[in-house]
Structure 1
Amino acid sequence: MKSSLDTGNVLKNLPRDLASELVTVLAQNRHVRIERIVSSGHTTPPDEWYDQVEDEWVLVIAGRALLRFEDPSEEIRLEPGDHVLIPRHRKHRVGWTSETEPTVWLAVFFPP
């Protein structure tokens, strides 16, 4: 019996050979946005930083990644199950993601 609810599996049908990260909005309203992000060896360009107006909670579900932060300078390595809360305007970038397997992130964006 098919459910009337919006269901899915964030680990199914993962794309391969992506030219850039794939971002899929799973749910959102005016207060929160939940995204699945799939990376495969992707990084943030060397001279770019994310500087968001929202707080972001991110969880690595599969694969591995390194996040770099500015001011203060910091690096966090993430493996499956690891998560971090990134306060708004904390400049950060993706240093690397797994190349041998997709890195699957669950990101939740919300106002501070």
Structure 2
Amino acid sequence: MSEQKADSSRPEEMMKFTEGMQVEVTTDDEGFEGAWFAATIIEASVEDKHLIEYKTLTNDDDTEFLREDICACHIRPCLPETIIVDGFKVMGEVDAYYNEGWGIRVIAELKANGGSLQG
């Protein structure tokens, strides 16, 4: 009997998602390309899709967080929290939290004395 290994070119095969796991989810929907949204795995599946609940995106009347079946290829573990106090520059690219999701942004202005970045 031969043993099969996961295809390392497919990251979702290397990561096992479990119920309750905190993750980030992306979509190919227009206007959201490259953005990642915080979510929790509600039901893990042995198939390619998992039921997730977003932490910041709500339904139209803001009464519940959105739930969605998402392909494993659009899910990643949460990034570790890091704090960088310097090293930013104008026109530099950063992965920034904006409009309820993470995405690549360009720094337009730096504020002195710990002020927020504008971009």
Instruction: Please tell me the TM-score bracket, short chain as reference.
Output: under 0.3
Q: Name the larger-Rg structure.
A: 2
| TM-score, with structure 2 as normaliser | 0.25
Higher helix share: 2
| TM-score, with structure 1 as normaliser | 0.26
